[in-house]
């Protein structure tokens, strides 16, 4: 069995501040193009070339370069017959074979043929599909509910989406009814917090659900709104605005930011710290790189090692680790070839020491011990 290489702390740090999504809660991210070179000969997972962390009750497995799924009992429930899969989301999974995409449900039943050139996961009862260079949407029965006729499209969020046809952008509802936006709009995002980012004459602003511009297009970039705030960029400097377009954090910083648990990481002169929603610097810029706050703690680099600070900037977990994996309020850490799980106080949760691990996802973690990979629950008990 080979395991997909997880992003180490060093690799993940290189992603920070490149986009707002770098700070979102994407637990246990993995790289698609790298695999551990380890072959197992024992254990219930040894039949598989690769296994993944669980997501929504299923874990992807690979046999002979084909992908399928096991459930939390370890049962092989969806055969390995696909070239590519996406984690189950909202009860459905995107699958691909021979560069054609379709959807299956949690029983493995196909709800569409594998006929699309590309497909995205379901959001709010609709999934984007692409065929012959055009985009449309299907419903959860596989019906093409919104015709495949658009040149560009976005996911449905907050019951609406945005699409482009013949160089004109529209807001559409779940039945495909269209509301035109200003004809000088050259790009339009999906909605978050009731607003979509709009681009006019090379500058970005925001539009509400009625098609009215509420933040004048004057920024080089506006990232997605979350909890009423969005990062903005102008002349290579970044700050934060609210849904009224008011600047709440001055454009002083290098790299975008996103608030998590009330704080956002910021970069000044290649040093990182944290500000609150008023723009006050609550943790000085002093670290080589940082991670988002989760469950009251944030990972920070001190030299080449990673530790965890609280919202007062106090070091709660010493900076002695080479890799970290966060998930569901539990911290997986690795130092000198020894992998452990810690709680938010830095206390070791289980007496076992592992050789490697993935963070908790869906209540389960993937660990390696004595050369074998297996899953454990939050009490440290082996699942199967």
Tell me the HSE value of 8 on the side-chain side, using a 13 A CA sphere: 14
- Cα(252)–Cα(129) distance, rounded to whole angstroms? 40
Q: pTM for the full model?
A: 0.84
Rounded distance between C-alpha atoms, residue 188 and residue 181, angstroms: 9
Q: Say how far apart CA 320 and CA 310 lie, in whole Å.
A: 16
Per-residue pLDDT of the chain (384 residues; tens, 9 = 90+): 544 434 333 333 333 333 222 222 223 333 232 234 344 446 789 889 999 999 999 999 999 999 999 999 999 999 999 999 999 999 999 999 999 999 999 999 999 999 999 999 999 999 999 999 999 999 999 999 999 999 999 999 999 999 999 999 999 999 999 999 988 999 999 999 999 999 999 999 999 999 999 999 999 999 988 889 999 999 999 999 999 999 999 999 998 788 999 999 999 999 999 999 999 999 999 999 999 999 999 999 999 999 999 999 999 999 999 999 999 999 999 999 999 999 999 999 999 999 999 999 999 999 999 989 999 999 999 999
Dihedral (CA of 59, 85, 173, 221) sign? positive
pLDDT given for residue 42 in this prediction: 66
Distance of CA 348 to the CA centre of its chain: 27
pLDDT number for residue 247: 95
- Determine the Cα–Cα distance for residues 193 and 204; give it in Å rounded to an integer: 17
pLDDT at 105: 98
Radius of gyration of the chain (CA): 23
Tell me, what's the pLDDT at 39? Answer: 43
For residue 147, count other CB atoms closer than 10 A to its CB. Answer: 11
């Amino acid at each position: 069995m080979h395991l997909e290489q997880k992003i180490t702390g060093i690799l993940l740090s290189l992603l920070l501040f490149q986009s707002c999504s770098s700070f979102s809660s994407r637990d246990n991210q993995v790289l698609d193009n790298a695999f551990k070179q380890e072959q197992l000969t024992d254990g219930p997972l040894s039949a598989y070339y690769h296994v993944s962390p669980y997501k929504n009750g299923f874990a992807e497995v690979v046999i002979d370069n084909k992908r399928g799924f096991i459930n939390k009992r370890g049962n092989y429930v969806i055969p390995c017959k696909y070239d590519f899969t996406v984690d189950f989301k909202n009860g459905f999974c995107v699958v691909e074979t021979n560069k054609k995409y379709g959807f299956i449900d949690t029983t493995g039943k196909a709800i569409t043929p594998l006929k699309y050139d590309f497909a995205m996961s379901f959001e709010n009862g609709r999934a984007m599909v692409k065929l012959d260079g055009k985009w449309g949407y299907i419903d959860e029965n596989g019906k093409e509910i919104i015709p495949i006729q658009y040149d560009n499209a976005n996911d449905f969020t907050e019951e609406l989406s945005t699409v482009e046809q013949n160089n004109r952008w529209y807001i559409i509802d779940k039945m495909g009814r269209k509301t035109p936006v200003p004809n000088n709009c050259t790009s339009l995002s999906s909605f978050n917090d009731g607003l979509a980012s709009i681009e006019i004459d090379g500058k970005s602003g925001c539009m509400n659900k009625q098609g009215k511009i509420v933040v004048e297009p004057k920024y080089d970039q506006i990232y997605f709104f979350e909890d009423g705030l969005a990062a903005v960029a102008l002349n290579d400097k970044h700050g934060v605005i609210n849904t009224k377009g008011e600047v709440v954090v001055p454009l002083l910083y290098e790299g975008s930011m996103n608030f998590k648990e009330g704080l956002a990481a910021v970069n000044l002169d290649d040093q990182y710290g944290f500000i609150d929603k008023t723009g006050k610097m609550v943790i000085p810029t002093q670290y080589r790189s940082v991670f988002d706050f989760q469950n009251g703690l944030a990972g920070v680099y001190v030299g080449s090692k990673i530790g965890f600070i609280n919202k007062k900037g106090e070091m709660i977990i010493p900076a002695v680790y080479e890799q970290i994996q966060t998930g569901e309020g539990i911290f997986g850490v690795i130092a000198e070839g020894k992998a452990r799980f810690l709680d938010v106080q830095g206390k070791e949760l289980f007496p076992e020491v592992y050789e490697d691990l993935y963070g908790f996802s869906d209540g389960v973690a993937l660990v390696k011990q004595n050369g074998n990979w297996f899953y454990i629950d939050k009490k440290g008990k082996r699942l199967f």
